[in-house]
Amino acid sequence: MKNRWMNAKWLGLITILAAFASGCGKNHLSTLRPAGEVGQEQFDLMLLSIIIMLFVVIVVSIIFTLAVVKSRRKNLGEDFEPKDVAGNHTLEVIWTAIPIILLIILAVPTVYLTFKQADTQAMENDDGEVNSEEIVVNVTANQYWWEFEYPNVDVVTSQELVVPTDKKVYFNLQASDVKHSFWVPAAGGKMDTNIDGINSFYLTFDDGKAQDSNRLFYGKCAELCGPSHALMDFKVKALPEEEYDQWLADMKNIEEPVQAFADDAAEGQEIFNNSCIGCHAVTPTGAGAQGPNLTNFGDRELIAGYLAHSEENLINWIEDPEAFKPDNKMTGAYDLTDEEIASVAAYLMELKVEEGSGDVETLRESAEESSEEESTESGEEEEEASSEPSEESASDSEEDSSESDEEGGN
């Protein structure tokens, strides 16, 4: 009787745990709720392997149970001698063949999808330059923040990646200091960002799925990279293509830093230009800065990748970044009074990109023109052209992707 109670207890516990665990799946963050083609394919592979595993477990359990039940001494008698089947060819062929068949069933889609998902050829045109028709993002991982460069239009942003839905988005991944790993769980598996060499892959974001998660997916660093590794988060804003184009055009439109509006913000701008501009750009150009690009900081959802976006949090962050992200590279880089910090914060909150200010047509034309120019240039002066960073990354990635695509982070 006691035993039965114990069983019931365990069953109850497992049920409750299962209920909790099933609540963990969130649209914006879960591998189990894929938000695009790549994630879906990887999810299907997981399902396939689980089904095969379950099949094996069930078949073996059934055979085992049958053997135990049927061959009891009670049934067969004390003197029963089982038939000796050692060396039986038929049996040996059968139990060698079954695992091979199962592995083949698993291997065919796995190999096919591995190659399919590593195919980033469309990212480049015939001259090995970034293809202006495709969406390409150069990602640089830094301790403990992310930079996103759109090489086709020369726009740089950070912490919040903006992508169009229902299109392949190609990524060139790189790190500036130590190894990190770029991971948008809902969109697909992670990939390492290395210091030497560029890893490339693509992801897709389904428009319907993006709507289900308020157009915001969560991204993570998936490689232990230092004390603030767990805080190295970023967001992915997945917008319909027209809105994405408009966002790019709006960003591109900002050539001069946004002028401060309120009085304290104007003061803040001056302080910013003295103490902060060495690391933080406020125009959407200049990849490879020492700190995140702040051009559209006022529009962000979060501060430093994880704090709620409020002026109060911003002041606290500027006052003592170390308290929020141990070992971050901004700590101790300036010395400001509380008042100065408040005005700088007021200025930063005003850094918004005016919606609809950019002209999408001009953006497209200039992207096409620049790629045409580049290709004719490179035809004549190949050496010079290949020293430009965006081209370098594109041609590097081809060599690297084949060898390092499989390197997942952990």
The entry of Cu ion, ligand HEC, none that residue 348 binds, CB within 5 to 8 Å by partner kind: ligand HEC
Please, which residue, 275 or 386, has the CB nearer to ligand HEC?
275
Q: Are 172 and 136 in contact (CB under 8 A)?
A: yes
Q: Are 134 and 371 in contact (CB under 8 A)?
A: no
| Subset of 128-157 contacting ligand HEC (CB under 6 A) | 144-145
3-class secondary structure, 127: coil
Number of residues near Cu ion (by CB under 5 A): 4
| Subset of 341-400 contacting ligand HEC (CB under 6 A) | 344, 348
**Quick check: 232 binds Cu ion (CB under 5 A)?**
yes
The entry of Cu ion, ligand HEC, none that residue 303 binds, CB within 5 to 8 Å by partner kind: ligand HEC
Select the span of 83-91, 105-113, 232-240, 246-254 touching Cu ion (CB under 5 A).
Answer: 232-240
Please, which residue, 144 or 217, has the CB nearer to ligand HEC?
144
The entry of ligand HEC, Cu ion, none that residue 221 binds, CB within 5 to 8 Å by partner kind: Cu ion
Q: Are 167 and 203 in contact (CB under 8 A)?
A: no
Please, which residue, 154 or 233, has the CB nearer to Cu ion?
233
Tokens of 198: 């560029």
**H or E segment to which residue 164 belongs:** strand 160-164
Dmax over CA atoms of the chain, in Å, equals: 101
C-alpha distance from residue 261 to each of 271, 272, 284, 296, 355 (Å)? 15, 14, 20, 15, 17
How many other C-beta atoms are found inside a 10 Å radius of the C-beta of residue 161?
23
The only residue of 163, 173, 221, 249 in contact with Cu ion, by rule CB under 5 A: 221
The only residue of 136, 153, 210, 225 in contact with Cu ion, by rule CB under 5 A: 225
**H or E segment to which residue 16 belongs:** helix 2-23
Q: Are 230 and 189 in contact (CB under 8 A)?
A: no
Q: Are 249 and 241 in contact (CB under 8 A)?
A: no
The entry of Cu ion, ligand HEC, none that residue 225 binds, CB within 5 to 8 Å by partner kind: Cu ion
The only residue of 27, 42, 110, 275 in contact with ligand HEC, by rule CB under 6 A: 275
| Subset of 316-335 contacting ligand HEC (CB under 6 A) | 318, 325, 328-330, 333-334
* Contact code string over 10-49 relative to ligand HEC, x by CB under 6 A: ----------------------------------------
Q: Are 290 and 279 in contact (CB under 8 A)?
A: yes
**Quick check: 222 binds ligand HEC (CB under 6 A)?**
no
Residue of 276, 171, 279 whose CA lies nearest to 219: 171
The only residue of 131, 132, 157, 158 in contact with ligand HEC, by rule CB under 6 A: 158
Please, which residue, 88 or 290, has the CB nearer to ligand HEC?
290
| Contacting residues for 282 by C-beta, under 8 A, at least 6 apart | 257, 258, 272, 293, 294, 295, 351
- Residues forming contacts to ligand HEC in the complex (CB under 6 A) are 144-145, 158-159, 272, 275-276, 278-280, 290-292, 303-305, 314, 318, 325, 328-330, 333-334, 336, 344, 348
- Residues forming contacts to Cu ion in the complex (CB under 5 A) are 180, 221, 225, 232
